[in-house]
Amino acid sequence: MGSTTDGSNGSEGVGRRDLIKRSAALGLISVPTMGFLSACASSGGGGEEKAEAGEKTAKNPLGVNDATQMEFVLFDGGFGKEYGQDAVKLYEKSFPKAKVKFSATQKIQSTLQPRFNQGTPPDLIDNSGAEQMDMGVLVGKKQLADLTPLLDAPSYDDPDKKVRDTLRPGIVEMGQFDGDPVWIMYYAYTVYGVWYSQKALDSLDEQYPETWDQMLAVCEKAKKKGMAGWTYAGKYPYYLPFSLYPMIAKVGGREVLDAIDNLEPNAWKHPAVKASFEAYYELFKKGYVLKGTPGLDHIQSQTAWAQGKALFLPNGSWVENESANVIPKDFGLAVNAPTGLDSSDKMPFGTIWASGAEPFVVPAKAKNPSGGMEQLRIMLSEASSRNFTSKVKSLSAYNGGTTGITLTPGLESGQAALEKAGDNVVNPRIQDWYVKLQKEQIGVSGLGEMMAGRMTPAEAIKKIQGFADAAAKDTSIKHYKHQ
């Protein structure tokens, strides 16, 4: 999650959820290999010294000093780094005297956290991947700059339109944690769900299952033909919520996810959570999960799935780009909303998780914050957005940029899934508000253990509720709530 992959609070809570609806699109929080490198701290003095502001003009609305270096660190994941490099060239064209120091890494936290601590952070960061810095902590410690000046600046293509007016619904609200300030600009737009090969489903003479009984029947049919029903990133089992969380909402209503986000007592003990955990555990019990899955990373599981060893894969829309070299041309890549339990579910079939992804931030102590924001303004132009979409098979936060682009199967399927969902789009916040809780405790220690058969659903729920309760009581953590 990298993606993971989305914060609002105060009176903004409901507005954000409402705004997400009917958005078209897709994106990434690609997850690299876990592990930590020794910190690469920047040399130099304290970060209190800001670059002198440049003159604000129609072409330079943020007042960038054209003689000051701008440093940009991009997460090098499933989207690669070319789209960032292309955007840097446009920055350098606008400010020919400015030097841009551009780098791409998978080691965001171990490389950049020491620099935050020393007051010498870069000017723009794509804070994504398995080593994503905890966004809730960064906001709580006031380590990020408010991006409102960027949002209120004239858009790159149309000076009569503000940047905020060119963005997809929900993007601005997702960057909020405490009401008005906007701390994060999510650049990609992701649809999460269950990914599969339409060709493989057709070969079983089956439709995508809408109820859990149908899901089990499809998996049984696949098993008889030598294909597993499911696989997933066993080493990073926080991929499972990409389909499990919207299933919980479908079964019990979106308020169940809100209670989980809010760290409410016994939120994980809700009957919808219990029923959904038991349904997933049934996949393990009946032997429908690809053998060896708990030991696979995201690339290995995606490769096995692309090779036809498993039918279903919980993932985000970055999977089309990340697995492009292993997905066969006639695969028929498709995504669908998570299967529900039955007709008693609170929300209709089609309920799906979709939201902004790839979080970009400008540190509060950046030496050239206006340069970091200007780089984002360039990236939120039609040309940069179109370049991003054509190169990485994902839509961006810019509401457009698809003219002249033939949509890939995954993009097309994702848009169809969002159209079917209509208003029934959910956006869990826990993975942004409480990164460690979501990834290590809920994902690895809870769901990972359960799906490997080392823990029952009841034991997993008890353990996860314990982790959530501990996080709720931890006064060193800043807490956020839906209102």
Other beta carbons less than 10 A from residue 141's beta carbon:
12
Query: CA–CA separation, 382 vs 166, rounded Å?
Result: 9
Structure tokens at 160: 């009569």
β pairing state of 310-316 and 228-230: parallel
Structure confidence by residue, pLDDT tens digits, 374-428: 999 999 999 999 999 989 888 899 988 888 888 899 999 998 898 899 889 898 9
Query: CA–CA separation, 296 vs 379, rounded Å?
Result: 35
Name the strand (E) or helix (H) holding 103.
Answer: strand 100-105
Contact 286, 310 (CB under 8 A): no
Distances (CA, A) of 402 to 188, 367, 385, 417: 14, 35, 8, 18
Contact 236, 298 (CB under 8 A): yes
pLDDT of 115 reads 96
Query: CA–CA separation, 282 vs 161, rounded Å?
Result: 52
Query: CA–CA separation, 111 vs 53, rounded Å?
Result: 28
Encode the chain (483 residues) as per-residue pLDDT tens digits: 433 333 333 333 333 333 333 333 333 333 333 332 233 333 333 445 788 888 899 999 999 999 999 999 999 988 899 999 999 999 999 999 999 999 999 999 999 999 999 999 999 999 998 899 998 889 989 999 999 999 999 999 999 999 999 998 778 988 988 677 999 999 998 999 999 999 999 999 999 999 999 999 999 999 999 999 999 999 999 999 999 999 999 999 999 999 999 999 999 999 999 999 999 999 999 999 999 999 999 999 999 999 999 999 999 998 998 999 999 999 999 999 999 999 999 999 999 999 898 999 999 999 999 999 999 999 999 999 999 998 988 889 998 888 888 889 999 999 889 889 988 989 898 988 898 999 999 999 999 999 999 999 999 999 999 999 999 999 998 898 886
pLDDT of 78 reads 82
Domains defined along the chain, listed by start: 12-190+356-409 (3.40.190.10), 193-353+429-473 (3.40.190.10)
pLDDT of 483 reads 65
The letter for the amino acid at 349 is: F
**Predicted model pTM:** 0.75
pLDDT of 170 reads 77
Distances (CA, A) of 96 to 51, 56, 90, 92: 17, 17, 10, 5
Query: CA–CA separation, 31 vs 131, rounded Å?
Result: 8
pLDDT of 453 reads 97
